[in-house]
A = this chain, B = another copy of it.
Amino acid sequence: MNDASLARRRRTGGRKGHSDRAGHAVISQSPWRLPINPDNPTEPLDGDGVAALHRGAMRILSEIGIEFLNDEAIGHLKAAGCKVEGQMVRFDPHFVEEMVARAPSQFTLTPRNPDRAITIGGRHMVFGNVSSPPNAWDLDRGKRPGDFETYREFIKLTQYFNCMHFAGGYPVEPIDVHPSVRHLDCLFEKLTLTDKVAHAYSLGSERVDDVMEMVRISGGWTHEEFEASPRMYTNINSVSPLKHDWPMLDGAMRLARRGQPVVVTPFTLAGAMAPVTMAGAVALSLAEGLAAIALLQWIAPGCPVAIGTFTSNVDMKSGAPAFGTPEYMRATQMTGQMARFYGLPMRASGVCAANVPDGQAMWETANSLWSAVQSGANMIYHAAGWLEGGLIASPEKFVMDCELIQQIQRYFEPALWATTDDDIAVEAMAEVGPGGHFFGCAHTQERYQSAFYQPFLADWRNFEAWRSEGGVWTAERANRLYKRILEEFEPPPMDDGLREELSDFVARRKREGGAPTDF
């Protein structure tokens, strides 16, 4: 926490964000916390398997090469001694290893509210909202294109839920805002409606620079303070197979030079843009990820990066991507092993192929989230609100996912497996005796209020009690809940001066025409 942020907290009375209090008004949710995953990861690969995947990734990089559709990147890699033919770059494995070794294994991102700082790496595990669906769906309105008002609703949900640690990409694409100024309006809302870590899309130099400037203003930081430590991040995707395109590389380099983290996430869909074999799809993903990380570590040694996984498989019947499948789970676990091998923080996702927030949606999402836990992933994208393979954002699904994510966070608490004499409680058993019950005994009375996870959405009453209040299924309960949360939402406190400065910046950039567009 720096002096400027301390001073600002004093100005706002040092109080916690309103959202914590609003939380109590509508639901009793778990507190904000930085989860530590205590489980040893699930590791399908033995040592030979890890070595084989590493060797495979290095063969791809050295024998086939990766296309870099960005002349500046090509220039850097040529200077670094890589073999460049046109836009194809072949890497010496030793160079890749040397560059990857420069990356920190862990880093901390501090947004405008220093209480919302998050650490990426080690055993830390943080969660963010669904990002980038072009469409929204809810029970009342069905499927429809994303718009700005819906964008704002999802941003409010992202702020509201304490189990959401960062505000990722646009939770829905607001197509009613012109692309030249969309990033300005979206980031203004994100930086004022939330006080959590924000994200910049690497979709054009001006947009990336605008977002960095807006984040800097939101924190009241000087340029030096902004660059001194991670404040925000970008996520770039390769164009699998074997290609990085211009804007992603441009944005990644812009952030890396200013000390801001870059997550590199290839989307290797086995049987489509990647080999039909999971090891092949993972090796390809690693090669594409490591190629970009090598570039970034060459131009900005020690810059914070993370390697992402988005390896899944197609439905061989329809060609559509499937998510949360057995193959997806194993690919995520394998990538976790390789991320640890390379000493890199890792990103995974909470995903499904289902079109509505029903049973299928939740078994697929549970599979993907548990595989993220099992893989030791540090940063969980799309963790709340994702449907239809990422083409839909749904507020009902958002609320349902938050219940599951809260449970994962509770699952991490060591109290659940504590084995002191007080926990084993032989004396309480002696007191209660055969056939008795523990409701009334002192051991229970002293502990029951915090002994167990308390759901806000799950209905644990029996059928008749549940039916007596209408027999409402989960998606419908989530529908009622998200609307109440939005009605009572209060934005987090923000210094008036900084808010005005941010607003002025947006107005000026709009007068200047915003960012260039293709149309």
Contacts and interface: CB of A to CB of B under 8 A. Distances in A.
A341 interface: no
Nearest to A356: B473
Contacts of A434: 66-67, 88, 239, 241-243
A364 interface: yes
Contacts of A413: 326
B438 A59 contact: no
A439 interface: yes
A49 interface: yes
A454 B389 contact: no
Nearest to A446: B276
Contacts of A79: none
Interface in A265-288: 270-280, 283-284
Contacts of A364: 458
A485 interface: no
Interface in A22-55: 38-40, 42-45, 48-49, 52-53, 55
A436 interface: yes
A276 B325 contact: no
A279 B423 contact: yes
Interface in A242-274: 242-243, 270-274
A294 interface: no
A449 B362 contact: no
Contact of A353 (B274, B451, B458): B458
Interface residues of A, number: 130
Contacts of A44: 38-39, 416-417
Contact of A430 (B63, B316, B318, B428): B63
Contact of A277 (B143, B284, B422, B457): B422
B359 A475 contact: yes
Given A67-B434, A451-B316, A407 B325 contact: yes
B270 A452 contact: yes
Contacts of A400: 359-360, 363
Count the copies. Answer: 2
A408 B330 CA distance: 11
Contact of A392 (B360, B389, B403, B463): B463
A447 interface: yes
23 contacts: A52-B424, A55-B424, A63-B426, A64-B430, A64-B433, A137-B463, A242-B433, A270-B452, A273-B438, A275-B424, A275-B444, A283-B424, A316-B449, A316-B452, A317-B454, A325-B452, A326-B408, A327-B452, A355-B462, A356-B471, A358-B474, A360-B459, A367-B407
Interface of A: 38-40, 42-45, 48-49, 52-53, 55-56, 59-60, 63-64, 66-67, 88, 135, 137, 143, 239, 241-243, 270-280, 283-284, 313-322, 325-327, 329-330, 333-334, 353-367, 370, 388-389, 391-392, 400, 403-404, 407-408, 410-411, 413, 416-420, 422-426, 428-430, 432-439, 443-444, 447-449, 451-454, 457-463, 465-467, 471, 473-475, 478
Given A270-B452, A357-B359, A359-B474, 7 more contacts: A143-B463, A276-B443, A314-B452, A355-B459, A355-B467, A370-B370, A389-B462
